[in-house]
Structure 1
């Protein structure tokens, strides 16, 4: 069973500034959750705390099974961070290389095929479009076979059409994972998520669970209704 995440009374202080305090929530296993909110409110810092990259001032983060989440997380950021001197397939298997392990090239080839890049395994990043590079980054994330995936605005640099295509691909390939996505795009959040969380200066709030299954079509009435509600909430939080 895919583990969920338990965030309990997490706070983050920087000298005399409190970024957020006493945040508690649970992410159900195998579900896709989006985290939205104004810039500077601490979304990326919270993601780093969950990943174990930043220590909270107070509180704890554990899997829903009571075990640490460290070692069970894959990360996908806004920039693809491909090594320019490595081929696409070697970038996909980068984690194994950094750990000193033998790369599973069959698995890497399978993932490149799944993201539509079977014919580009030997290509260097400079020869790939932005959308293709982000597909390699998605394959690299999946290569790790981690049950928990944390994503920090991974599709924000893409054009609208490519973004929609990769959103659908991510929803398909991450369907069995516990995913937490930071995004500033209400459409993206409503299209991909089972659940929406909003972080603001006042704390954490939640919208009602979205109807239907992701990825939702752009003209899905459930998506349009949730998007309108989300926009109202975000506007109120920033007022």
Structure 2
């Protein structure tokens, strides 16, 4: 299966002589050298792919370049260098009219601050993207009504935006994106303006929708726990560069550098890690024979701890064919819990053997 979205060596430079600045960056210059000359390198040599049906999270601190990167993915910002491929089409080669057509029908965006029209009803807001496409009124209202129901807003169609809570307004923004049936959703800090409990609820909503709709999503956040919870894969950005890309387990167990290691040190690993990440693959016969209650490679860490507490022996981990693929001794669980303030020691990952991804969202 080919990638739905592919970014290749993207650069975005603001200021004087941007092409010259890209040449300097390729030659080894850093951001500070360019800034001294009045030039800002927002994104530097960013490359990644996003598979169909994947939630790809780009995370980093403020000023890391993540929002600028997102806006290059749908042509709102033109890259200084590099290309963006979408379903095999080079978006950077399209005319303005062709780009508008792609944004209207194939790529939707969900913003941080809702971006609702106060003088339009909830239904009219949800149907706005379809109105831009020229969809007949009856059809767009039907599709918008269905999208609102998916987002838990059935019965609110005739309400006005100022009658809704912040979380409900964000659901309208999500419904507007879903109503267009776009192939790609771009979500720019979409839950960052919400209170913590409402934010968690919106994360649950997105994961529930994703299980049935299987959209391709690029999600921008500065919150590491949100990234770990939502992302099938995560790209960590710093100073305009992507410094590591991988699953939540990859990043927790194998941080690429000291910056990533310091970034993840406060993450609750028990909500991210799975049996497949922590199991011992060197299985002895007596361990295999004593297995009664078992786990699978995607059993969450906290469930694994509860299971281990009930058993006098290591927990056996079985694959989909009920074949033994590893065991988890109790001391191994204790070891990972004891490393909450440090970097865990790497263990074999299912990816190391060329297997399927077995991470589970907390």
Decide: shared fold, TM above 0.5. yes
Residue pair 1:87, 1:121 contacting (<8 A) in 2 also:
yes
Residue 220 (structure 1) aligned with residue 261 (structure 2): no
Task: Give the secondary-structure state (helix, strand or coil) at the position aligned to 2:159.
Answer: coil
Structure ranking higher on relative contact order (CA contacts 8 Å, 6+ apart):
1
State TM-score, norm by structure 1. Answer: 0.84
1:107 alignment partner in structure 2: 143
Residue pair 1:75, 1:150 contacting (<8 A) in 2 also:
yes
Check 1:143–1:44 CA distance in 2 against 1; reply closer, same or farther (3 A cut). Answer: same
Residue pair 1:2, 1:147 contacting (<8 A) in 2 also:
no
2:173 alignment partner in structure 1: 137
Counterpart Cα distance in 1 of 2:114 and 2:240: 32
* Structure 1: runs of 5 or more not aligned: 212-217, 233-239
Check 1:219–1:112 CA distance in 2 against 1; reply closer, same or farther (3 A cut). Answer: farther
Counterpart Cα distance in 2 of 1:221 and 1:24: 25
Residue pair 1:195, 1:209 contacting (<8 A) in 2 also:
yes
Residue pair 1:3, 1:148 contacting (<8 A) in 2 also:
no
2:242 alignment partner in structure 1: 204
Question: Which is richer in helix?
Answer: 2
Residue 52 (structure 1) aligned with residue 90 (structure 2): no
Counterpart Cα distance in 1 of 2:64 and 2:170: 26
Check 1:30–1:122 CA distance in 2 against 1; reply closer, same or farther (3 A cut). Answer: same
75-84 vs 199-208, greater mean Cα deviation: 199-208
Counterpart Cα distance in 1 of 2:199 and 2:133: 31
1:67 alignment partner in structure 2: 89
The superposition leaves residues 14-56 of structure 1 with CA deviations (integer Å, 9 ceiling, x where unpaired) of 1233223222111122110111112112111111101111111
Residue pair 1:2, 1:178 contacting (<8 A) in 2 also:
no
Superposition pairs of residues 48-197 of structure 1, within 5 angstroms: 48-63=71-86, 65-68=87-90, 70=99, 71=102, 72-103=106-137, 104-175=140-211, 176-197=214-235
Counterpart Cα distance in 2 of 1:221 and 1:6: 27
Q: Which of 1 and 2 has greater Rg?
A: 2
Counterpart Cα distance in 1 of 2:240 and 2:176: 36
1:22 alignment partner in structure 2: 45
In the comparison of the two structures, how many residue pairs are matched?
Answer: 223
Give the deviation of 1:97 after TM superposition. 2.1
Residue pair 2:8, 2:83 contacting (<8 A) in 1 also:
yes
State TM-score, norm by structure 2. Answer: 0.57
Counterpart Cα distance in 1 of 2:227 and 2:125: 28
Give the deviation of 1:181 after TM superposition. 0.7
- Displacement over 6 Å in runs of 4+: none
* Structure 2: runs of 5 or more not aligned: 16-38, 92-98, 250-268, 274-299, 302-335, 344-362
Give the deviation of 1:146 after TM superposition. 0.8
